[in-house]
Amino acid sequence: MLKRLLRSKRLLIVPPILVGLAVIVVLVSMKKEIKRVDHTEKATPVKATYAVVSPLSPEVVGFGTAAANRRWTAVAEVGGQIAKSYLQLKPGISVTKGQPLLQIDDSDYQLRFQQRQAELRQAQAQLRQLELARASDEKSLQIQQAMLVVRDRDVKRLAELRLNQSASWSEADVVQLSQLQQQQTVQNLLNSLSTYEAQIESAEASIALSAARVQEAKRDLERTTIVANFDGLLANVALEEGQYVAPKETLLDIIDTTSVEVETQISLAQLRRLVGGPKTAVPDGVAPNIEFAQQGVPQPAMQSLPAVEVEVVTRSSASEMRYSGEVVRVTPSLDERSRTLGLVVRVSNASTAGRREISHASELRPGSFCEVRLRSNQPTSAISVPNAALVDSMVFCITDQNRVQRRQVQIGFEVQGRTTITSGLSDGEIVILDPASSLVDRQLVAPTFSDAAVFSPSSPSSLLKNASSDQAVRTRASVGAAQQEVAR
């Protein structure tokens, strides 16, 4: 009985065990399968290009304001009312050299000119009168000297008669008195003739003075007519007929737009980029400044300028105009504040010939804000990369394993959207374009090459295209190998 009871108690544990097993089976059947995490490293897609050796010409960019090569300001040299204008006095009107522009009332100047002419004629008449009087006195002197000789003979004869007591003392006194009077007459004529030379010189001086006054009055009369000094356009005109103008008052300006000059400032470092090319003499023969040598600019470079191509660019909201120019002179010293050198560039507006209106749109206008580009004619071979590949002075290179490698480089000059690299990068290395700030060293990337990757004036484009294709194949193989390594 006891055994049966014990056996029945042992069997009581079986149902809970069966229930627990059933629960476990149900739970196991309801459990979702755990997905395995793929730890393979993914390559970041980037745009890339090659660092290539190519011939690039050093370029310097400056800015300045265009100004007319010649500008003439008409200033009133005489005063008076504006009696007449020979053309419509408005800014932009074309004029030619010698063309009358304004007429100042010349009535008073005509009268003054006539008065001066009359004074001149009067002085000339006085001189002729003196010359006639001198000639008359000279003839009278000859006559009076002959009469004096007769009186002298009379005195001698009466003196002999008086010794013989043939003449009285009274007769002798009369003859001697007549001799003295004749001597006085001769002496007066001699005194008069001696003064004629000074009188004639004074009369000649009066004539010269009167002639100068006539010329002065004539010039004042001519100055009442304002004429154009050269071919050009009217500017800064604010005059009307009947308006009074005073001497030294500004009337109008004429500008010559057949050539326009732009003065731009460049630094000494920019100048050093250009002085390595062939030289052309400076037109104005500017003497070198000792400060240039102290700043590392060669002295011979300051006595001559490199042969450069000059391009002047003006931009507006709707258009962009480009002009060819030439460097005509340099400033003799550095600017005291900016420590830069001034270069004057001249642009010839050849299309202005025969132009009659200021609305001609193809010429470079005075007052335009200009971008001046100076490019050396002698290219320099150097390693260069697109500007988009640079972050300050750092580039992101791609190694053979398609890993990122940040590298510090030395930057040269910038030209045509590319920057030369003087050190830190080799020809043919791959650099990333527009690198993201999240890129880190040794990060796996998958580069794709754009058309910029085949830019190389010094290498055949087919070779670079083939190199680009080979690199793409190498990239895919390297990425696959890296993924397999990470998976293991």
380-449 is classed CATH 3.30.465.10? no
Tell me what pLDDT residue 127 has.
92
pLDDT, one tens digit for every residue, the chain (488 residues)? 555 655 566 666 767 777 777 777 777 677 666 666 556 778 889 999 998 888 888 888 899 999 998 899 999 999 999 998 888 888 888 899 999 999 999 999 999 999 999 999 999 999 999 999 888 888 888 888 888 888 788 777 777 666 776 666 677 677 778 888 888 888 888 888 888 889 899 999 999 999 999 999 999 999 999 999 998 889 888 788 889 999 999 999 999 888 899 999 988 877 777 765 444 343 443 333 433 444 444 444 444 465 788 999 998 887 888 999 888 888 888 888 888 888 899 998 865 444 334 345 678 888 899 999 988 877 778 888 998 889 888 999 999 898 999 999 998 877 778 888 888 888 889 999 988 878 888 889 899 986 544 444 444 333 344 444 444 444 444 444 444 443 44
Tell me what pLDDT residue 263 has.
93
Tell me 364's DSSP state: P
- Kindly report the pTM of this predicted structure: 0.57
Query: What distances in angstroms separate CA 304 from CA 42, 312, 353, 455, 460, one per listed residue?
Result: 59, 21, 32, 34, 37
Q: Which residues contact 403 (CB under 8 A, 6 or more apart)?
A: 441, 442, 443, 444, 445
Closest by Cα among 105, 82, 101, 76 to 247: 76
Domain boundaries, the chain: 69-104+225-253, 108-222, 380-449
- For residue 464, give the 3-state DSSP assignment: helix
Tell me what pLDDT residue 82 has.
92
Residue 378 token pair: 């002698």
- For residue 48, give the 3-state DSSP assignment: strand
What's the rounded Cα separation, in Å, for the pair 101 and 103? 7
> Which CATH number, 3.20.20.80, 3.30.420.40, 2.40.50.100, 3.40.366.10, labels domain 69-104+225-253?
2.40.50.100
What's the rounded Cα separation, in Å, for the pair 170 and 150? 19
Instruction: Check: CB of residue 321 under 8 Å from CB of residue 368.
Output: no
Q: How many CB atoms lie within 10 A of CB 338?
A: 10
Residue in the block written with tokens 């670079």: 464
